[in-house]
Chain A
Amino acid sequence: MLLEIRDINTYYGNIHALKGVSLHVDQGEIVAVIGGNGAGKTTLLNTISGVMHSRTGEILFKDQPISRLSPDKVVRVGISQVPERRQVFSTLNVLDNLLLGAYLRHGSVGKDQIRRDLDFVFEIFPILKGRQKQMGGTLSGGEQQMLAVGRGLMAKPELLLLDEPSLGLAPLLVREIFRVAGELREHGTTILLVEQNARAALHLADRGYVMETGEVVLEGRSEELLGDERVQEAYLGAVGS
């Protein structure tokens, strides 16, 4: 098991945002967490990333506890997050955005290694290559999402956390982003994906969890979830699916 979350409870002030959530992600998998607004999906990712801390419960990454680590330590152990709404550095150019993704690796690995990782990102998102000198904020929504994913990849994570990568993108771009996610799995990157777009997410993922108001209410293989009546009704719009 690459990531194991055991019964975590996270609070936003007095709001009980995650209620006894448990899930796991195996090496080489894509796991989707689906659910509506306010289901606690982003809180879940932020708790893994160390931006927020759970009051109780445990998070294990490669059998090591990481629930008490600060965000930079979490990046160091090999988990990087592509945050919701992309959050690229708007007044830094594309190249700098990507280089900052590898911030913690500049001291430990050689320039040529980082160069190779850059080339890899430009290979999967060729459009970024031509825009290296352009400010992050001037890119279109789809390009910003590609930049955000590329920036996350520059940390060379073993586990990539994707928060709503389809948000606000045209269907064609959504397909493109999900295609790349599938490609990353081939390259050995494990992905935990959080999505409102349940259909696209479950078609890509191996397994899925359904969250509602801070709790995991359903879990299973993607095909099972896609075929589940409750999921169809609540998230897939049963008619015509």
Chain B
Amino acid sequence: MQRLSRSRSARIASTVAAMLVLVAIILYLGHAKGFGPVQYVQLILDGIRGGSIYALIALGFVVVFNVTGIINFAQGGFVMSGAMLAVSFNQLALPIDPRMKLALAVIFGVVVTTIVGALVERLSIFPARHSPILTLIIITVGVFIFMQGIALLIWGADPYYLPAFTTLALEDHIIRIGGVMIKAQSIWIWATVAVVLVALAFFFERTLLGKALRACSINRRAAELMGINPSRMSLMAFAMAAALGAIGGIVLAPATRPMYDMGLRLGLKGFVAAIMGGMISSPGAVVGGVLLGVLENVGAGVTKAGFKDIFAFIILILILLFRPKGIIGGGERGVEE
């Protein structure tokens, strides 16, 4: 017991030390660029925006991993599918109010992607459900490549655009507070993430189905003996992950230029965020996502914009080397151990 607490305090000390070093480096580099508090706040806010998207995607990874043990690399495909489907729907010449059309496009993207998620589970995972987990993980890689290929066939290699939710145009409304600028789309993103988190918490804490999903992830065999069908739970986990990914892709779309290959980068970032959270913890995934978004954005800010993606993968490598259970850690299975 005492040894445990000592190793724990050592862990905390080393984490704090590492963070201090990191902050010192950032401040030093930022100082060289003449950054003041305003610049940092701006970088952090933009980082939180990107990070919120990673958090949504990471939640998709966590849900599937908890219920099935599979790391679903098709998750990025769902992000892309959501965004591209919404874009296509919004391009239709429908005789309705553009605001209405955009709202329908959002719903269309989420619903169709959810169905795609369910189909992916039924057509690729379910038939192979008795295979080792590694096989299933590789299947999801294949599914991702397949989805990206289909997307290239449908949409070609051109970037598309989805109008900002507030202005319904490419140009977004910008809110200025002090020297800090916040795009209206950022508010949409934060609000969406907040609503999704509340909905998820309600689902897992208050509904029987949510508890059945948790039961399945805590102890699959016992859940089976209660009459909970794990294959149906797996189907639901994939559908939920797809919906989460699609929502992420769609709210982000107006802030980027969606195209067929956007899923790879976002999927991997979501994976990094999930790993940071220990892979099994939903709060961990959210914290991991936001932290990743902030770190990479501040990191890119004080160095070069082109380095942004490098930071995510440096973090991934560091975590897998030193803290493979995640830096936030402790999900339901963790407690059981």
Contacts and interface: CB of A to CB of B under 8 A. Distances in A.
Given A75-B226, A87-B222, A103 B208 contact: yes
A228 interface: no
B225 A103 contact: no
A70 B215 CA distance: 18
A70 B228 contact: no
Contact of B227 (A75, A88, A90): A75
A222 interface: no
B214 A91 contact: yes
- Sort chain B's interface into a size bin: 10 to 19
A101 B320 CA distance: 38
Interface in A91-113: 91-92, 96, 99-101, 103-104, 106
Contact of B225 (A71, A99, A137): A71
A89 B222 contact: yes
Contacts of B227: 71-72, 75-76, 103-104, 155
A51 interface: yes
A80 interface: yes
A92 B211 contact: yes
A103 B227 CA distance: 7
B97 interface: no
A88 B214 CA distance: 12
Contact of B215 (A49, A76, A89): A89
A51 B215 contact: no
Interface in A39-77: 49, 51, 70-72, 75-76
Interface in B212-246: 212, 214-215, 218-219, 221-229
Interface in B297-337: 332, 335-336
Contacts of B335: 90-91, 137
Contact of A103 (B212, B219, B336): B212
A80 B225 contact: yes
25 contacts: A71-B227, A71-B229, A72-B224, A75-B225, A81-B225, A83-B222, A83-B225, A87-B219, A87-B222, A89-B214, A89-B218, A89-B219, A89-B223, A90-B332, A90-B335, A91-B335, A92-B211, A92-B218, A96-B211, A99-B208, A99-B211, A100-B211, A100-B212, A103-B226, A103-B228
Interface of B: 208, 211-212, 214-215, 218-219, 221-229, 332, 335-336
